[in-house]
Amino acid sequence: MTGHRILPNPAAAALAVQKAVKEIIAEYLQNKKPSSPVFILSSLAEGADRIATRELLRHPNSELHAILPLEIDDYMTDFKSADSQKEFADLIALAGKTVILPSQKDRSRAYEAAGHHVVDTCDLLIAVWDGQPARGRGGTADIVAYARRKNRPIVWIHSEHPGQIIREPIPPRCKVDWAPIEEERLRRHEVEEKQKLESTLEKSLALAAGNTTPEAAALLKERLRRILEYFIPTYVKADQSAIFYQARHRNATRAVFLLAASAVIIVSAQFIFHLPHLLVLGEVLAIATILTLFYWSNWKGWHRHWVDCRLLAEWIRCGIFVDFLRDDDSDQEGRQWTSEWIINSWCIDHFQDLRMHQQKLKALTEDSLPVLKDFFRTAWLNDQRVFHERTAAREIKRHNRISRASEACFWMTFIAAILHLLPHSLYPGLHAYHQSIARILTFLVIALPAAGSAFAGLRSHFQYKKLSRRSGMMAFRLEKLDHQLDRMNSLEELKGKVLTAESLMLHENTDWHVTIGSNPPEKLA
């Protein structure tokens, strides 16, 4: 929700908002259960914000999430009348969640940040706006413009002509097709993931048996169980889909490079050795297969689905540990789990929706600190560090192996070229008696560079060395963070380290998505 504080005709605006809200709710519930929740994101500013908020709160399953630009006492000074302050206090008391955003340099920046947060988190924006440019930073026009850049659907109610309601839908957003994986296989992976984390928690509890009360242990077990029940099904679906699509994308990419080299080799062999002309059909089939793979891969979206599903899976993995290790929900919601580099992606909406509907958990207690520290280290930091160490080693091996293959092809080409040159320059008479050798050498100086270029292309496309260095740096940072855990003596310090780990993981995942996502199949051409 966004809109002007001062409206020419508040009553008419309220009627227009009422009409728009009824239509929106009806559309929202069309393919959902009648009891599906409706979340209202509002800064509760005077005027349009409150009109729309009150109207939406009439829905029986609505819940208000207040997004405040300033601390409550400071924010209330913007409301001059006692009635306005009382109205704000009444509405804030109805809020299921209150998010107070980090402080900014000035109030206009704070209002802008609140508007951006509403847009980043919402599925649809209701704007009561006169269509004119903003009169100050963070004004309604700025927020509408930001929503358009973010491709958010907008319901625009003209503040001066409330009967004029404009819908601004967006082009169909790219939605993922979950990989066709058997339900039994998904359930098996769900059980394995749950057992893995629950077993790690049991070991952490055993190590801290003398420092943790039975009540705290029971609370932690129940906390983890609820988090896993909520997150794991979607995590497994995203993780297995990423594996499925990655395999298809990589196999198709390898086939394209190798078939391109094969086409050159086939036509060279046919021409040089005077083989049957029908052999050229092999070249035609190779090129036809390449074109088919291009179009099929892009149509099926293997590359796009792979990077999006992997990003979603890693965000959910991060969310599991953050939610288990921290309990200040308002601060958690106030932080951005997205990136300015990733916009209009289905995985952002899917993850935000997942977190929005999460149930509240009981607060953690100080006597659970030893367990949380060990679980944090073992289940998250060490697990990710080992993963990145193995990834770094595996990717550099692939880089070296394919580099050696490419280099060998070009060295053999060099030798073949020298041998091909020698009879012409040193022994001209020998050349006539060894036409077959000359043909072989000619074939090699054409075929070997084609093979070497294919290997070099694969190395460049898959960026083995870059991925190895990224994972190596990530493993180093995680190990450094691990060493800092021993100096923590309170839950507050633990939460700080969880924030650091969260930021590190999300930055790595987002950067990976941008890097790999910028290298789709059409870039091969």
Q: Classify residue 10: in a domain, yes or no.
A: yes
155 in the same domain as 235: no
pLDDT band (50, 70, 90) for residue 407? very high
Alpha-carbon Rg for the chain in angstroms: 30
386 in the same domain as 274: yes
Q: Classify residue 312: in a domain, yes or no.
A: yes
Q: Are 227 and 321 in contact (CB under 8 A)?
A: no
Helix (H) or strand (E) holding 518, with range, is: none
Share of the chain above pLDDT 90, in %: 37
Average pLDDT over the chain reads: 85
Q: Classify residue 194: in a domain, yes or no.
A: yes
62 - beta bridge partners?
A: 38
3-state secondary structure of 111: helix
CATH number for the domain spanning 98: value is 3.40.50.450
188 in the same domain as 91: no
Q: Which of 334, 349, 391 is nearest to 508 (CA)?
A: 391
User: Could you please report the per-residue DSSP string of 72-103?
Assistant: HHHHHTT--SHHHHHHHHHHHHHEEEEEEPPP
238 in the same domain as 315: yes
pLDDT at 425: 56
Q: How far apart are CA 296 and CA 309, in angstroms?
A: 19
Q: Which amino acid does the sequence have at 482? A: D
pLDDT digits (tens, 9 = 90+) for 200-235: 999 999 998 877 888 889 999 999 999 999 899 999
222 in the same domain as 156: no
103 in the same domain as 8: yes
The 3-class SS string of 437-486 reads HHHHHHHHHHHHHHHHHHHHHHHHHHCHHHHHHHHHHHHHHHHHHHHHHH
pLDDT digits (tens, 9 = 90+) for 280-335: 899 999 999 999 999 999 888 899 899 989 999 999 999 899 989 876 554 444 44
3-state helix, strand, coil in the chain (%, to 5): 70, 5, 25
228 in the same domain as 119: no
354 in the same domain as 481: yes
Distance of CA 69 to the CA centre of its chain: 26
188 in the same domain as 137: no
Q: Classify residue 326: in a domain, yes or no.
A: yes
Q: Classify residue 177: in a domain, yes or no.
A: no
Residue 410 pLDDT > 60: yes
Choosing from 115, 142, 168, the residue where a domain stops is 168
Q: Quote the number of domains for the chain.
A: 2
What phi and psi values does residue 65 have, to the nearest 5 degrees? -115, 110
Angle at 181 between CA 291 and CA 199, to 5 degrees: 130
Residue 338 pLDDT > 80: no
The number of CA neighbours under 13 Å toward the Cβ of 360 is: 7
pLDDT at 306: 93
Choosing from 103, 137, 168, the residue where a domain stops is 168
Q: Which residue has the tokens 């979950």?
A: 178
Q: How far apart are CA 177 and CA 306, in angstroms?
A: 10
Q: Classify residue 83: in a domain, yes or no.
A: yes
Q: How far apart are CA 504 and CA 483, in angstroms?
A: 16
Q: Classify residue 174: in a domain, yes or no.
A: no
Give the single-character DSSP code of 127.
Answer: E
pLDDT digits (tens, 9 = 90+) for 89-133: 999 999 888 888 888 878 888 888 898 888 888 888 888 888 887
164 in the same domain as 222: no
102 in the same domain as 52: yes
The 3-class SS string of 29-66 reads CCCCCCCCCEEEEECCCCCHHHHHHHHHCCCCCEEEEE
261 in the same domain as 154: no
Q: Classify residue 175: in a domain, yes or no.
A: no
pLDDT digits (tens, 9 = 90+) for 426-453: 555 555 456 778 888 889 999 999 999 9
Domain hosting 137: range is 2-168
Q: Which of 306, 194, 179 is nearest to 237 (CA)?
A: 179
pLDDT at 176: 59
Q: Are 4 and 159 in contact (CB under 8 A)?
A: yes
Residue 437 CA: distances (Å) to CA of 65, 247, 432, 434: 80, 42, 10, 5
Choosing from 168, 201, 231, the residue where a domain stops is 168
Mean local confidence (pLDDT), 380-390: 95
